[in-house]
Amino acid sequence: MPRRTRHSQHPSPGRRSKKAARPAAAGNPVFAQPTPSPDPTSFKDPVTDQRLREVKQVEAVPQPVASAAEPVLTLEQVYGSQGAAKMQAITVSGQIVFHCVGDTGSAKGPTTQNLVADKMVSDFDEANSADIPSFFYHLGDVVYYFGEATYYYDQFYEPYRNYPAPVIAIPGNHDGVVWPGDPAPSLSAFMANFCTAAPAPAPDAGGLVRTTMIEPAVYFTLEAPFVRILGLYSNVLEDPGVISSENGSYPTLDQRQIQFLTAALRRVSSDNFAGAVIIAVHHPPFTGGTDHGGSPAMLADIDRACVAAGVWPHAVFSGHAHNYQRYTRTVNGRTIPFLVAGCGGHSPLSRLRTTLRTPYPIDSELTLESYDDTDYGYMRVVVTADTLRIEFHPESDGGTTKTPDDVVTVTLATHAVS
């Protein structure tokens, strides 16, 4: 390896008139720069290392901040002193909207990531406040090719400098991999930016004002009005994703994430939670891409937790494959959308196998319903008391076009998919 050195139309991001977040009181979070600024055209610290292709050993998963079986982060906590008012406004509006995509870090320069980030920012110009996103849930691979602090300015803080809401993340495999010989432990940079005890100036932000996130672990439940997202860390291998020891196959790991997922699903039942339940994990259980395979053993772990709890998610989100894919899976009498959104800016995109068409029945339980392997983009998710609606928005439509290229809606009470 070489040495390193429904929704209305909007004005374009360069003509935004919205008010960005301003620096807040000590201990409160800050999201966007006080004044929007133009996109950068180059990196301050260009990536010169090569992609590490031979990762053979999974890494130990850091312990949660607290010893609870289910680490929980509430969206109210994320917003600091404004949290209670924000949650009340969401509840009164009758819906919550958020963004979701992974694989945003662009090792080749900022252009492709900026295309997606700018279009996401344009969603904050909605005339109806109920349609404005409340957060961005990142599906991992924040930085490439190694999850080290030096890459966070160019690949995270600068691209989202105008994004006026929290960015909450689970790590991807590249976030956990460190340069061979680097003394920093796996995930140390991710945790320094996403898992601090309180919002603080980010050491890797290069003077930008976004503060650190306060996630309790690299796996956790995000609890918000109308939705719970159960996030898992699927480790550092290119393939497959791994969330447990898999009966001793990965002795570095334990069963904590399976225990977490089971506890979180059981609490859904014990709380009589009627909102949307989403499982998020970086590696996709299924993918038809040419660069990555699925993770059947990881899916079996997830299934066992669902069976043990007697609760199944309304949807499963993942990234890793650098494109957009949507499957429906019939399991335990329910039809569950499985979505892959790894098209947040990392270049190049990954093409699907040419033999696939949609709808494409893979077996009696699984169908590929839709895909886009030529566009960068993101998911816009809308949750009400009754439905979960997931839209895919390609950046190629431009900042003023807000018609999704793919939509799926789940009725929460029945799990019916349309």
Confidence of residue 333 (pLDDT cuts 50, 70, 90): confident
Confidence of residue 109 (pLDDT cuts 50, 70, 90): very high
pLDDT band at 26 (very low <50, low <70, confident <90, very high): low
Contact 283, 139 (CB under 8 A): no
Mean of pLDDT values over 337-355: 91
Distance CA 91, CA 411 (A): 19
In this predicted model, what pLDDT tens digit does every residue of 155-172 receive, in sequence order?
A: 999 999 999 999 999 999
Tens digit of each residue's pLDDT (9 = 90 or more) over 41-62: 999 998 887 666 668 899 999 9
Contacts of 172 (CB under 8 A, 6+ apart): 102, 103, 139, 140, 141, 142, 234, 282, 319, 320
325-341 average pLDDT score: 95
Share of the chain above pLDDT 70, in %: 92
- The ranges assigned to domains in the chain are 13-411
Q: Average pLDDT, whole number, for the chain?
A: 91
3-class secondary-structure state, position 92: helix
For residue 111, pLDDT over 90 is answered with yes
pLDDT at 129: 95
CB 377, CB 101: distance < 8 Å:
yes
Whether residue 145 contacts residue 174, with contact meaning beta carbons closer than 8 Å, is answered with yes
If one looks up domain 13-411 in CATH, what number appears? 3.60.21.10
